[in-house]
């Protein structure tokens, strides 16, 4: 904080004292303090009003604006009820890693199998079309391989899509 004579001070709450510093020390201290205070505020640990920010010295344990009703948890903390095999599990062991659940993968495979079976019933050559498409072949090359005109190929695919939309739209 500055006083009338452009002298810079850092306020230490614990000792209730002002320490005279240079402008560079003042700027450096409050830059780091502001980063720390903002982080604490985002985490819901600090409620310091704006008019008191210059009094922040990052001594949160002794600050009157610190929230006491928060809990911090360690990822190494045991998970209650997870020790079925007498092997202690921690939060780190059970946190989701973002990969799909096994049941969802099985359901997707089942739905894909239903879809492929229905495509084989309606238009058996559609599987060959798909394989050629995966190899990077154009519509013209695929139509030539099937011995049909390109426009016929496209109209059959459009018809197949319309039929599948009507029957299994929840899968598509």
What would the DSSP string read from start to end of 53-94? Answer: GGG--S-GGG-TTB-SS-----TTSBPTT--TTS---BHHHH
Asked if 75 and 30 touch (Cβ cutoff 8 Å), the reply is no
Q: Give the CA radius of gyration of the chain.
A: 33
Write the burial class of residue 129 (CB in 10 Å: 0-12 exposed, 13-18 middle, 19+ buried): buried
* 1-15, 76-90, 130-144, 150-164: the lowest-pLDDT one: 76-90
Token pair for residue 158? 């459009």
pLDDT at residue 50, as a whole number = 75
pLDDT at residue 2, as a whole number = 46
Name 66's bridge partners.
Answer: 46
Token pair for residue 23? 């402008």
Name residue, tokens 């020790």: 83
Asked if 8 and 2 touch (Cβ cutoff 8 Å), the reply is yes
Tell me the three state secondary structure of residue 110: helix
Q: What is the mean pLDDT of residues 5-19?
A: 78
Q: What is the mean pLDDT of residues 71-75?
A: 65
* 32-46, 84-98, 118-132, 148-162: the lowest-pLDDT one: 84-98
Asked if 12 and 1 touch (Cβ cutoff 8 Å), the reply is no
Quote the CA–CA distance of 143 and 149 in Å, as a whole number.
6
pLDDT at residue 115, as a whole number = 86
Token pair for residue 136? 């990077």
pLDDT value at 155 more than 90: yes
Whether the model clears a pTM of 0.85, i.e. scores above it, the answer is no
């Amino acid at each position: 904080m500055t006083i009338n004579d452009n002298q810079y001070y850092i306020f230490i709450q614990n000792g209730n004292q002002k320490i005279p510093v240079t402008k560079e020390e003042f700027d450096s201290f409050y830059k780091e303090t502001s980063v720390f205070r903002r982080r604490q505020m985002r985490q819901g640990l600090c409620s310091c009003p704006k008019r008191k920010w210059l009094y922040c010295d990052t001594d949160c344990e002794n600050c009157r604006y610190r929230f006491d009703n928060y809990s911090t948890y360690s990822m190494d903390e045991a998970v209650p009820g997870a020790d079925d095999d007498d092997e202690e599990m921690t939060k780190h062991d059970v946190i989701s890693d973002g990969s799909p659940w096994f049941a969802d993968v099985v359901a997707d495979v089942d739905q894909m199998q239903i879809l492929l079976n229905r495509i084989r019933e309606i238009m058996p050559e559609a599987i060959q079309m798909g394989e050629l498409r995966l190899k990077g072949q154009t519509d013209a090359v695929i139509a030539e391989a099937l011995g049909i005109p390109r426009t016929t190929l496209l109209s059959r695919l459009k018809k197949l899509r319309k039929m599948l939309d009507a029957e299994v739209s929840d899968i598509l």
